[in-house]
Chain A
């Protein structure tokens, strides 16, 4: 049930929500930059470092192929790490803010503290 606008503003300014936002952004922004740089490195090497990419490692398997497969591995790994991180760090915090929005209307000002006690 949509809360009145002031409630959203209040919650947005609460410490609890600031922490949720901080935890979310601290994970997703650096990770996004990291995997885009990692992918860009792969594309750049494919374009400009052909000699390096064509070094054979085992039989006919060369650096280019291993690098490509590593992009798959890193994608799977980041997805897995994020799901763990979200379950541990984000979901419980989001739930607390959610409950606060649902129930804590009267004690709005002191809601973080009140909820903190119930943790």
Chain B
């Protein structure tokens, strides 16, 4: 009874503190946004933050854009529940950055201006290619946006401790979810419409510092608890997981071995498919690609990717310690009691560490509040980046170049971009409210699969293949996009299984949850077929693209 009362009191302390910290973050970032809006005069300011950011700043901002709630809460939770297999995600997410570094970042920075389509349409017929690029940008970003916003809604009741039978400010858990989605959506619309790329970039930087700081404190506490002996941390995690040594080995979550040979085969193919999409998706994510335009030169773009690799790599090593730490110090049973998917593992670990190191329940409440506020800040920063990328594409690619055929004034274009952010934000809010039951990890994996199947082939062909043409670009974008989305539609994620979106229907025939292993090669294949069936080829424009992309000549 007494402990129940104490728990009740600490929930309320922690809740107040979480909200206070979150409001402080919102106040600071809104201040920055208003300041940034005064510096935002031209289209370059709005789309590319004036191209004035340093390599370190942009590296942090890339980290801020990339380290989503899915990676912070999701991966820590996966590791806490399934042990080693959660680590597979982190590795794919990190190795992916080498593609961005070696093949994409610098060349894109040199030859593009504001959006991914600037490079894709460089030597093609503008209107069809920009339309296609705009469609795939928006599809990828919307999937990703919904994932983040649904995640925010799911987290709020857990982080604020709203139980099914209790209320908070007169809201029950379901109302609080909807309210959170709307609040997150409204804030992201403000960041983007008011602050543009400059405001959004600073929001990312602040968030990256908060996230790295919060994670570092927890990692130090976890390691100190085990006297910096990694082996005993792992041993404890394995013991308390109830799965023994298997917890430290691959196979609990992905590539599960069962009695059915075909189930085992498909489960392993799914693992390979996921791995492929993670590695090839990053360099096709529009909100990541537009980050390379915020620095003055391609060499600074390179530097910013190097910083990003350092920061993101360090962060994923942190999540490894956090995940195993949560398994060891909180225990799998306590985590699943809060959230079946394990998303609350990191906040629960924070609470446990606070109780141990910062003097009992109050310390626990403080740590929980800090990490919960960090998680909200994380979500907010990522959704702002996504909204900006998709509204930029809608305004710059679709409005200015398709509708106005390149004759829109800069002021009109920026006005349309701001308005697009409002529309995309509103659509994302509405879809997220309807999509609340969808699995967040699945939505993120889908966004990566589409980015890898539709965008990456077109980008690589554009930059490196002389023969590539309009038809090839359209085939690869629509072909990759279509095959990824269709395969998912006919996969067990959508129908024909107990955990599907429509568990009572069955039109499933594709056996894998992740389409990448089929749809990514298809994207490349379609691009190749589309190219060779068309005679079009612009030798002069390719010369211009190649020379400019390698030397930075005529770069914006």
Contacts and interface: CB of A to CB of B under 8 A. Distances in A.
Contacts of A60: 231-232, 234-235, 238, 245, 248
Contacts of A28: 102-103
Interface residues on B, range: 35 or more
A89 to B, nearest CB: 13
A68 to B, nearest CB: 5
A79 B99 contact: no
A91 B541 CA distance: 23
Interface string A25-59: 00110011001100110111011101001100011
A3 B170 CA distance: 66
A30 B230 CA distance: 35
B309 A24 contact: no
A36 B279 contact: yes
A39 B268 contact: no
B438 interface: no
Given A28-B102, A31-B102, A98-B552, A47 B250 contact: yes
Given A3-B553, A28-B103, A101-B551, A9 B543 contact: yes
B98 A78 contact: yes
A107 interface: no
A105 interface: no
Contact of A44 (B231, B254, B272): B272
Interface in B203-252: 230-232, 234-235, 238, 245, 248-251
B467 interface: no
B162 interface: no
A8 B268 CA distance: 49
Interface in B532-556: 539-541, 543-544, 546-548, 550-554
B313 interface: yes
B202 interface: no
B91 A3 contact: no
A82 B302 CA distance: 10
Interface residues of A, number: 56
Nearest to B554: A2
Contacts of B87: 65, 68
Contacts of B238: 60
B277 to A, nearest CB: 12
Interface in B255-310: 255, 257, 268, 271-272, 275, 279, 299, 302-303, 305-306, 309-310
Contact of A61 (B101, B231, B552): B231
Given A72-B316, A79-B309, A98-B553, 16 more contacts: A8-B544, A9-B543, A11-B543, A11-B547, A20-B550, A32-B102, A39-B91, A43-B272, A47-B250, A65-B248, A68-B84, A76-B313, A79-B306, A82-B102, A83-B302, A91-B299
6 contacts: A2-B544, A27-B102, A32-B98, A39-B95, A43-B88, A94-B551
3 closest Cβ pairs, A-B complex? A59-B231, A60-B234, A46-B250
Interface of B: 84, 87-88, 91-92, 94-95, 97-99, 101-103, 230-232, 234-235, 238, 245, 248-251, 254-255, 257, 268, 271-272, 275, 279, 299, 302-303, 305-306, 309-310, 313, 316-317, 539-541, 543-544, 546-548, 550-554
